[in-house]
């Protein structure tokens, strides 16, 4: 698929979802894989001080859209809206009336694809019936850095959210690379330190680039040779001192994509192993810091460049979790049935099935750090697609998935679950009951225990 290359700036005002939340959106022309990015300036202090920016991205399986946003006049008051749930589904789905869990405080009778004994729908439904209170999968979210937006998601789905995905990318220097921006949040709505500290067991998922944006072109070689070990030690020291020593570090996420200079494995196959060696050095340096209990997540993009995983896998001794970002996008054939579309999404090279098998072969738990619906059109999305939601629930039920995070970003690309009523009902029924367990590390293995209330 091609990707967009010309950036334009538009203003998007989100009024119905979050009261007084103003967002400036910047994006390229759409190509083949959604991409989103938020930037927020804050002042850091401590051993290394500088200006840092928060950034998030959407990098699934088709066109890219990039956006930089600085929240303005944000309110912590959330508008609670009850979505209208249709009583029928399209002819492409078999339909049956199902009573879903409470959405936005009221019981709603809605229609989702009928349950069956085979395929994603039937097994996910069976799993949902027994998941509540006993689940070992954590429901997380990327809420565009906004707690108010997160509360909108919680009110609509009834989910318990105890881990949040944040991005520490777009770093201009090592000074900012070693200091996460949310330690000095620009607004109370972005005060994730306070949110984490408010309830025991909450955890942050940190998407961390391999180097700052100003690193030289040979940063992979220099990193593998140990030139940057001191910065990794400084980053870990800062995180431990800030009470973030239990974070999940999504290091160099989606490196098979080339759009992020500071994370990608690049285009030279001879350097894929060099990238992996540097990834491993960062992990070892960070683990050596007293008080560090990080979990390191090696995340694959489900669509971009299906490079053999062994060529850039850093090794079982340094990888704690194998993740995959898997959006409902990149399928241009609109004539497919929902089930055929799901099959196409999961059977592509290095997509869900392949990465799931790879994680199982290496004895590693999985994560779904970024997933979400995408608009119909050039992104290759399906819009309101409950079969995709139920398929993911089934995947979680049959794989050792330690956490999943819906990419809840109001950027006009269709990633807002609350704009998709049938999918919202499916999420509330199949995924919201999963709970939010805690993580533990024993003898180098990641395990899950309990459901955190």
More confident residue, 108 or 403: 403
Closest CA to 112 of 83, 89, 129: 89
pLDDT confidence of residue 211: 96
The tokens for 166 are 């944040």
Mean pLDDT of 440-451: 42
Most confident of 39-43, 312-316, 372-376, 412-416: 312-316
Output the CA–CA distances (angstroms, integers) from residue 82 to 38, 111, 113, 154, 408, in the order listed. Answer: 27, 16, 21, 12, 17
Q: Please say whether the beta carbons of 123 and 100 come within 8 A.
A: no
Query: Per residue in 291-327, is it b (16+ CB within 10 Å) or e — as a string?
Result: ebebbbbbbbbbbbeebebeebbbeeebbbbbbbbbb
pLDDT confidence of residue 259: 85
Query: Per residue in 347-369, is it b (16+ CB within 10 Å) or e — as a string?
Result: ebebbbbbbbebbeeeebbbbbb
- Transcribe 199-228 into DSSP letters: STT-EEEEEE-SS-TT--TTHHHHHHTTTT
| DSSP for residue 103 | E
pLDDT confidence of residue 414: 60
Residues 376, 304: Cα–Cα separation, whole Å: 19
Q: How confident is the model at residue 260 (pLDDT cuts 50, 70, 90)?
A: confident
Least confidently predicted of 126-130, 191-195, 319-323, 343-347: 126-130
**pLDDT digit string, tens, across residues 224-248:** 999 999 999 999 999 999 999 999 9
Q: Over 70: is that where the pLDDT of 354 sits?
A: yes
pLDDT confidence of residue 413: 61
Q: Over 50: is that where the pLDDT of 208 sits?
A: yes
- Give 367-383 as a 3 state SS string: EEEEECCCCECCCCECC
pLDDT confidence of residue 170: 62
**pLDDT digit string, tens, across residues 58-103:** 333 322 222 223 233 233 333 323 223 222 222 233 333 333 222 2
What is the set of domains in the chain, with CATH numbers? 78-449 (3.20.20.80)
pTM for the complete prediction? 0.72
Q: How confident is the model at residue 146 (pLDDT cuts 50, 70, 90)?
A: very high
């Amino acid at each position: 698929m091609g990707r967009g290359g010309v950036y334009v700036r538009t203003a998007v005002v989100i009024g119905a979802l979050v009261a007084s939340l103003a967002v400036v959106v910047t994006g390229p022309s759409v190509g083949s894989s959604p991409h989103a990015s938020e930037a927020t300036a804050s002042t850091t202090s401590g051993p290394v001080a500088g200006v840092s920016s928060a950034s998030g991205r959407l990098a699934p399986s088709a066109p890219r859209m990039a956006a930089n946003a600085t929240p303005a006049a944000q309110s912590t008051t959330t508008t609670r809206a009850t979505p209208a749930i249709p009583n029928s589904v399209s002819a492409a789905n078999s339909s049956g009336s199902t009573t879903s869990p409470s959405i936005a405080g009221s019981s709603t009778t809605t229609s989702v694809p009928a349950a069956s004994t085979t395929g994603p729908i039937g097994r996910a439904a069976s799993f949902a019936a027994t998941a509540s209170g006993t689940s070992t999968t954590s429901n997380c979210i990327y809420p565009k850095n906004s707690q108010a937006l997160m509360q909108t998601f919680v009110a609509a789905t009834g989910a318990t959210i105890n881990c949040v995905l944040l991005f520490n990318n777009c770093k201009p220097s090592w000074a900012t690379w070693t200091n996460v921006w949310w330690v000095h949040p620009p607004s109370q709505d972005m005060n994730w330190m306070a949110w984490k500290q408010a309830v025991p067991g909450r955890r942050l998922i940190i998407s961390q680039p391999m180097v700052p944006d100003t690193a030289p072109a040979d940063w992979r070689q220099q990193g593998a040779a140990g030139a940057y070990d001191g910065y990794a030690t400084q980053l870990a020291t800062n995180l431990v001192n800030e009470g973030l020593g239990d974070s999940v570090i999504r290091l160099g996420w989606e490196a098979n994509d080339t759009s992020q200079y500071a994370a990608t494995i690049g285009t030279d196959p001879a350097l894929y192993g060099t990238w992996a060696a540097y990834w491993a050095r960062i992990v070892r340096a960070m683990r050596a810091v007293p008080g560090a209990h990080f979990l390191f997540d090696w995340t694959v993009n489900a669509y971009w460049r299906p490079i053999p995983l062994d060529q850039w896998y850093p090794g079982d001794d340094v990888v704690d979790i194998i993740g995959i970002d898997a959006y409902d996008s990149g399928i241009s054939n609109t004539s497919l049935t929902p089930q055929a579309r799901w099959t196409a999404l999961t059977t592509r090279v290095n997509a869900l099935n392949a990465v799931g098998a790879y994680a199982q072969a290496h004895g590693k738990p999985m994560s779904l750090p970024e997933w979400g619906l995408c608009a119909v059109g050039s992104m290759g999305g399906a819009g309101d697609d409950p079969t995709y939601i139920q398929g993911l629930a089934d995947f979680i039920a049959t794989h050792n998935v330690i956490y999943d995070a819906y990419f809840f970003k109001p950027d006009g690309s269709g990633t807002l679950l609350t704009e998709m009523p049938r999918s919202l009902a499916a999420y509330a029924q199949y995924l919201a009951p999963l709970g939010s367990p805690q993580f533990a590390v024993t003898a180098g293995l990641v395990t899950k225990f309990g459901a955190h209330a």
